[in-house]
Amino acid sequence: MMNGAVLVIDAGNTRIKWGTHDGAHWLMQSWVDTARAAQLKRALAGAPPLRAVVVSNVAGAAVREKILQILPPTPAPRWIKSTRAQCGVRNGYDHPAQLGCDRWAALIGARRLYGGPAVIVNAGTALTVDALAGDGVFVGGMIVPGAELMRKALAGHTAALKLQPGKFSFFPNTTGDAIMSGAINALAGAIERMARFLAETGQRQPACVLSGGGAALIEPHLNLEVKVVDNLVLEGLLTIAHEG
């Protein structure tokens, strides 16, 4: 075990997830609402002495400033960016820095945990579906509105499809169920099509590595081998911390 713990932070649009790791085990993982980022200060009050801090932030400059105000002055946080290659993953984007740093960390985490070809899915405010080849090359990915965004879009842009409760059904017979079932089928379809596209390049059947707050909504409806990881971005950030 190394002296001091590693603190990793995944600042997303809805939640700020964080965890501390002692070099052998996770000591704690938790989250606060991004809109209440100041609560992170109290959450971190019991954290052990730190030897490194690694942060992924896609929530903007204001959230970055709030996190900086909360963190201790040392060690200085490392704010990750997507690069051409890191931790055994190569970035296939034409302009690597355009890839969201949370997606980059998730790819790195999945590569370390499972290896082999995989479809890396984060089900949050948006759904990201990224294809990772067996040799560690990120070949590309999709971004889809999450289920709640789809439902709110319909509610905001139609007269008769207001936001209402609904559940999944193969043959929906209420408007609420029709909207929810449509959203879930759209998300599952995007994931399964990406898996098929990746397999058609000659890869063996890819696994689906699924993470995010919406994972439980989608996982039962996927016709794939699914590996659910509660905080995949944190796993990737930890991998980056160890490399550094």
Catalytic residues: 102
Residues 6+ apart with CB under 8 A from 200: none
Helix or strand run (H / E) with residue 188:
helix 175-199
Cis peptide before 75 (omega within 30 of 0): yes
Residue 192's φ and ψ, nearest 5 degrees, are -70, -35
Task: Evaluate whether 6 touches 54 at the Cβ level (below 8 Å).
Answer: yes
